[in-house]
């Protein structure tokens, strides 16, 4: 499952001026799970609902106030694992305009339910 280019605004950053106004971030979320049941049944109950994940992430991010993008990306990964069917999640968080002369900076967090 993939959610790509989710654009959200939140308070993020360690500099005092970054704490004053929400900034734009973008998220790519990739989730691995067994999709065979949904492929056979064509039933939403047999898969992970990407709309529910996007809504949960949106609610968390827009109400958050993190200093580091690493911490926020980790929290987004935790949200993905609230569904017990998720085996692996990869979250890429980008913060456009954070570094002069670069269109964006970011991190990729990878988490697995089993080592």
pLDDT tens for 94-111 read 999 888 999 999 999 999
Q: Which domain holds residue 80?
A: 2-112
Active-site residue, selected from the candidate residues 77, 95, 98, 109: 95
9's tokens: 């605004």
Buried b (16+ CB within 10 A) or exposed e, 84-111: eebebbbbbbbbeebeeeeeeebbebeb
Handedness of CA 6, 63, 16, 69 (dihedral sign): negative
| Distance in angstroms (rounded) separating the CA atoms of residues 93 and 91 | 6
- Decide if 95 is catalytic: yes
Domain with 74 in it: what CATH number? 3.30.1130.10
Prediction pTM value: 0.92
Q: What is the pLDDT of residue 115?
A: 65
Residue percentage of the chain with pLDDT more than 90:
95
* Domains: count for the chain: 1
């Amino acid at each position: 499952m993939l959610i790509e280019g989710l654009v959200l605004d939140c308070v993020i950053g360690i500099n005092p001026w970054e704490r004053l106004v929400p900034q734009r971030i973008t998220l790519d979320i990739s989730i691995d799970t067994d999709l065979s049941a949904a492929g056979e049944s064509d039933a939403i109950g047999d898969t992970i609902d990407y709309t529910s994940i996007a809504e949960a992430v949106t609610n968390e991010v827009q109400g958050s106030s993190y200093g580091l993008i690493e911490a926020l990306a980790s929290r987004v990964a935790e949200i993905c694992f609230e569904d017990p069917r998720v085996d692996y999640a990869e979250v890429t968080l980008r913060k456009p305009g954070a570094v002069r002369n670069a269109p964006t900076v970011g991190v990729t967090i990878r988490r697995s339910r089993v080592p």
